[in-house]
Amino acid sequence: MAPEACVARLSLYARELARLAHQRVGYVSSRRLAQQLGLTDTQVRRDLSTFGQFGTSGRGYEVQRLHDRLTAILGVSGRTWNVALAGAGNLGSALLAYRGFKERGFLFRLVVDADANKVGRVVQGHAVASAHDLTQIVRRHDIHIGVIAVPVEAAQAVCNQFVAGGVRAIVNFAPIHLDVPPTVWLRVVDLASELETLAFYLARTTKFETATP
């Protein structure tokens, strides 16, 4: 399996290449790609080379072709993924509205909430279902990816139902560690923690230029 850090960047490459293709750029060098993304040219070449040889010496990478290859490798070309959202609050609603998902074939096929007041309502064009019997609903909709945007207290329970329903990948926005079997891929987005990390650095220094001696 490919290095994890490099997989994480694959998505960035694909997106930047989509932009370049949109601007009708035909070829791009690792240098330029790196500059756009705040990386080094070596890193770009190393990353790409773990998936194949895509470049031409002296020319660089053919934008459209590389884009197509990368999206295929990422598993987001010529197919869609069924996504379920648990929690139709502010965050959940923001996620439903986010256009970047649909563009890449991530389709919200199911939205649930535990709050009886929300059930039946339509949020961002999606009808909110009851979270009762979540396992079964998830299974019935053949959900691939579960997104957890519920309060901490409910997160683990929702997670368990997702897993029981056959979900094999989960994105968690609740600020708590979720226990999942090792057969399930988990990704965490921790908003509070992001800010606290920044506070650490702010509290310390007025960040100095690294004086190169």
Please give the residue ranges that form the binding site for DNA (CB under 7 A).
Answer: 3-6, 29-31, 39-43, 45-46, 48-49, 53-61
- Choose the binding region for its own copies from 24-32, 53-61, 128-136, 183-191 (rule: CB under 8 A): 183-191
Which of 156, 132, 147 lies closest to 92, judged by CA?
147
Residue 190 C-beta: closest distance to its own copies, Å: 8
12 binds, among its own copies, DNA, none (CB under 5 to 8 A by kind): its own copies
In this structure, the number of other CB atoms found within 10 A of the CB of residue 188 comes to: 15
91 makes contact, choosing from its own copies, DNA, none, with CB < 5 to 8 Å by partner type, with its own copies
Q: Which option in its own copies, DNA, none does residue 195 bind, with CB closer than 5 to 8 A by kind?
A: its own copies
Please provide residue 161's backbone torsions phi and psi, each rounded to the nearest 5 degrees.
Answer: -70, -40
Pair 37, 11: CB distance under 8 Å: no
Among 7, 119, 154, 157, binds its own copies (CB under 8 A): 7
Helix (H, G, I), strand (E, B) or coil at 207: coil
Distance between CA atoms of 37 and 168, rounded to whole angstroms?
30
Helix (H, G, I), strand (E, B) or coil at 60: strand
- What is the rounded CA–CA span in Å between residue 41 and residue 45? 6
> Helix axis angle, 30-37 relative to 4-22, nearest 10°?
100
With binding defined as CB under 8 A, does residue 37 bind its own copies?
yes
The residues of the shown chain that bind its own copies, judged by CB under 8 A, are 1, 7-8, 10-12, 14-15, 36-38, 73-76, 81, 83, 89-91, 93-95, 97-98, 100-101, 103-104, 106, 124, 144-145, 168-169, 171, 175, 177, 179, 182-185, 187, 189-204, 206-210
